[in-house]
Amino acid sequence: MISKYKSLKEECLESNMKLNELGLVLYTFGNVSAVDRNNAVFAIKPSGVPYEKLTASDIVVVDFDNVVVEGKLKPSSDTKTHSLLYKQWKEIGGISHSHAKFSCAWAQSLMDIPIFGTTHADHLTTDIPCTSPMKDELIKGNYEHNTAIQILETFEEKKISYKEVEMVLVGNHGSFTWGLDAQKSVYNNRVLEEIAELAFMTLNLNPNAMRLKDSLIQKHYDRKHGVNSYYGQ
């Protein structure tokens, strides 16, 4: 019998394989999910399965309360983070999580990534936010669920829109990115890693590097995302 979630699971598999192909994953340290809003479920990589062995039939489908709807394997340990973000942010269609090297280094440094150049400004107009370290009581509690709460609170405190800023660093942990679909979330994860590396190199070359001028930030963002956008590569 063909699964009603066949296309969803295939989308999820393809996106997970792309995350690995782009060099954003070491061993099994990462995951991508794809949501089906009509059925209020999402597909996610199973926990601990090597990418070279991953198939569409391995992908697990869960609802927004983290109940397995389809699949024989255990869903990713980060499933509760994904589910709460889907619940709260209604317009995202996919989420990626990775421990890519430069993104993770910034997360471990508990630093926002400053906007130094136009590569950054082509994608967002703000620094890339990093959450504060998780409080002990939250670590001892529902850890993965509370990771999503960290993200949500950071965006609320900094008055950032998840529709514009589709990426975040979780302090001491790694990155989460999202988009209108799973493939866009992977794209954003790779962009985040590139920006993280460029910012690291910038500060090594010039510890006093200046933030990009506001006029350049707005120009580069608008020409790609504005009402009269015209830029594409």
CA 175 – CA 191 distance, rounded (Å): 11
CATH number, domain of 205, equals 3.40.225.10
25-33 mean pLDDT: 94
219 in a structural domain: yes
Annotated catalytic, 231?
A: yes
**Percent of all residues in the chain with a pLDDT value above 90, rounded to a whole number:** 88
116 in a structural domain: yes
> Are 3 and 12 within 8 A, CB to CB?
no
Report CA 105 to chain centroid distance, whole Å: 16
Tens-place pLDDT, residues 169-227: 999 999 999 999 999 999 999 999 999 999 999 999 999 999 999 888 988 877 866 66
233 in a structural domain: no
In total, how many domains does the chain have? Answer: 1
- Phi and psi at residue 225, in whole multiples of 5°? -125, -10
CA 222 – CA 233 distance, rounded (Å): 15
Q: Whole-prediction pTM value? A: 0.94
Q: State the number of CA atoms in the 13 A half-sphere of 206 facing the CB.
A: 7
Is the pLDDT reported for residue 232 higher than 90?
A: no
193 in a structural domain: yes
Q: State the number of CA atoms in the 13 A half-sphere of 172 facing the CB.
A: 7
- The domain of 207 spans 6-225
Is the pLDDT reported for residue 33 higher than 90?
A: yes
In this predicted structure, what is the pLDDT of residue 223? 82
232 in a structural domain: no
Is the pLDDT reported for residue 44 higher than 60?
A: yes
CA 169 – CA 150 distance, rounded (Å): 10
CA 94 – CA 111 distance, rounded (Å): 25
Active-site residue, from 58, 122, 181, 222 = 122
In this predicted structure, what is the pLDDT of residue 14? 98
Tens-place pLDDT, residues 131-168: 999 989 989 999 999 999 999 999 999 999 999 999 99
Mean pLDDT across the chain, nearest whole number?
94
CA 76 – CA 58 distance, rounded (Å): 11
- Phi and psi at residue 229, in whole multiples of 5°? -60, 145
Contacts of 146 by beta carbon, 8 Å cutoff, 6+ apart: 134, 138, 139
CA 30 – CA 25 distance, rounded (Å): 6
pLDDT band at 1 (very low <50, low <70, confident <90, very high): low
